[in-house]
Amino acid sequence: MLVVVDTNILVSALWSKNGAPAQIVAKVLQGELIPCYDWRIMDEYRAVLQRPKFKFRPDEINSLLDWFKAIGKSVIVPEIKIDFTDEADKKFYEVAKFCNAKLITGNLKHFPEENFIMSVQDFLSLYF
């Protein structure tokens, strides 16, 4: 199954190895889920995960992102003409639409109400 993983899910997964977001990342690492991304998403992942306040180790960040790149689907997507409250979130929406993937986020209020956009809990309960 193709998924787009919002950055907040990665942060939460690295922050708490036992939470629901960590289950999503584990399913990616096990090959059960295939992450879709573009260069903008990968840049955001790296920039956010490297923030000093999180204190994530560089090798931990590199391993995770290298794995996403190795098993994931890198795409180049056309811009979608839709207004977003936070334009930084638009790239996740665009990639999910382009790939026909599920968008998993901890911030549903940042996205339009569409059936392919879901919380971690909703995604896990529907598919696992």
Number of CB atoms found within 10 A of residue 124's CB: 16
CA distance 30 to 39: 23
Which residues lie closer than 8 Å to 80 by C-beta, 6 or more apart? 90, 93, 94, 97
CA distance 2 to 75: 12
Mean pLDDT of the chain: 96
Do the beta carbons of residue 92 and residue 103 sit within 8 Å? yes
Alpha-carbon separation of residue 40 from 20, 36, 43, 95, 121 (angstroms): 25, 12, 5, 10, 26
pLDDT digits 0-9 by tens, 38-74: 999 999 999 999 999 999 999 999 999 999 999 999 9
The pTM for the full model equals 0.95
pLDDT digits 0-9 by tens, 74-94: 999 999 999 888 899 999 999
For β-strands 102-104 and 73-74, DSSP reports them as unpaired
CA distance 54 to 78: 32
Average pLDDT over residues 4-33: 96
Alpha-carbon separation of residue 18 from 7, 26, 49, 104 (angstroms): 17, 10, 18, 17
pLDDT number for residue 85: 84
